[in-house]
Chains A and B, each alone.
Chain A
């Protein structure tokens, strides 16, 4: 069965610290990978995505993620966080041949950035 695992449920860090959120997936085939973010009181929105090609993808607001196929991982990184990065972050996956686009989400990681 497909699954998405996010390693940390809560992360607290100070401004200017580096952030790395782990995401591992279990899926028997080629996948599309996503990170979505939910800022307090706002909609979920796409942070970045990977379909194919360069395994290092860059998203909005200085975020990037690296797809490591051998490790079934798609970790999210940001070198220097800001208070405005306080949000919940979700990793998601679907099969590349799934034309219905049904995403499987991880449990989410609540990130709190302190001033």
Chain B
């Protein structure tokens, strides 16, 4: 049971480039989330999804897009990378009865230069 898998683990982007952070879970969880973690700032919610085809903005959605075409996958897209998007990104999921306990992926460290 792999849990929540994120790829890539590390990536360096140039300003203006685009990329997609992949997130896959094999627990058949309905809810999925993307957070970013910045030093001294904790985790901030970027986007979340409550099921295939349903997504909504979190606290810091600007500069990002998501889609949820399947239960398993919840990719996060950066269209025009900016230095302010340098961060560690975490994907998480939980099931309907998960009592709000999230299962996190290992994180993706993104640097924009």
Contact = CB atoms under 8 A, between A and B. Distances in A.
Interface SS majority for chain B: strand
Contacts, number: 57
A44 B100 contact: no
A22 to B, nearest CB: 14
A88 to B, nearest CB: 9
Contact of A102 (B33, B41, B42, B101): B33
B102 A103 contact: yes
A108 B102 CA distance: 17
Interface centre among A32, A34, A94, A101 (most CB of B within 10 A): A101
B100 A94 contact: yes
B9 to A, nearest CB: 11
Interface stretch (A13-21, A45-53, A63-71, A76-84): A45-53
Contact of A107 (B33, B41, B56): B41
Given A102-B48, A107-B40, A107-B42, A49 B101 contact: yes
Among all A-B residue pairs, the 6 with the closest Cβ atoms:
A105-B42, A105-B43, A44-B104, A101-B100, A107-B42, A43-B104
Interface of B: 4, 31, 33, 35, 40-45, 48, 50, 56, 58, 90, 92, 94, 98-102, 104-107
